[in-house]
Amino acid sequence: MKKYEEQKFNIPELKGISKKAIEEHLKLYAGYVKHTNLILEKIEEMSKDSEKNAYALGEIQRRFGFEFGGMRNHEYYFRALEGGARPLSENSSFRKVAANEWGSFENWLQRFKAIALTRGIGWAMLYYDPMSDCLLNTWVDEQHMGHLVGLCPILTLDMFEHAYMVDYVPGDKKKYMEAYFENLNWENIEENYKLAI
């Protein structure tokens, strides 16, 4: 059976997001990896008598989506911070596509940030849709509800309170969001885009 491994990230000191916040957030990520593996083991075990365990299997399968989503979303999130803040090149493919679809890169960014400030817990996500050859912004509730099927994530922004409560009160989540973008390594986002197309 497949075992998922906790990835390690090279995240430098950030502006507006403390080392303590990142350390605590990485512990949470490690928990998603651990629980993804534990649930897969449990599913394997319970599947030996799937008729007897039908209800429990259904419930644990739902939980699997939450844990797996938490694991993967965070991997994109932390990778975007690796290597320190780097600007997006004026000649980048991603910048050109975003500008073409939204009128300008700044228009896309403004709309993405508006999604990030959705009330509730979840993620602002940017995907590439290979079937339509376009970018799509969306909100994902919790870790898993609302993911767009078959689409590749380009950028993920964690808007759960756990992402910013070490540094900011809930009313200041916009400051956390701005700090995230200030620390973003856009070269990594460009790479996600190139891998997706």
Which domains does the chain possess?
Answer: 19-79 (1.10.287), 93-196 (3.55.40.20)
pTM value is 0.92
- Cα 176 to the chain's mean position, in Å? 15
In the predicted structure, residue 187 carries a pLDDT above the cut 90:
yes
Exposure on the CB side of residue 147, measured as CA atoms within 13 A: 18
Which pLDDT value is given to residue 174? 96
Mean pLDDT of the chain: 93
Give 178's pLDDT tier (boundaries 50, 70, 90): very high
pLDDT tens per residue across span 16-40: 999 999 999 999 999 999 999 999 9
Mean pLDDT calculated for residue range 127-141 = 93
- Would you call 9 exposed, middle or buried from its count of C-beta atoms within 10 A (0-12, 13-18, 19+)? middle
pLDDT at position 193: 96
Per-range mean pLDDT, top range of 16-25, 56-65, 162-171: 16-25
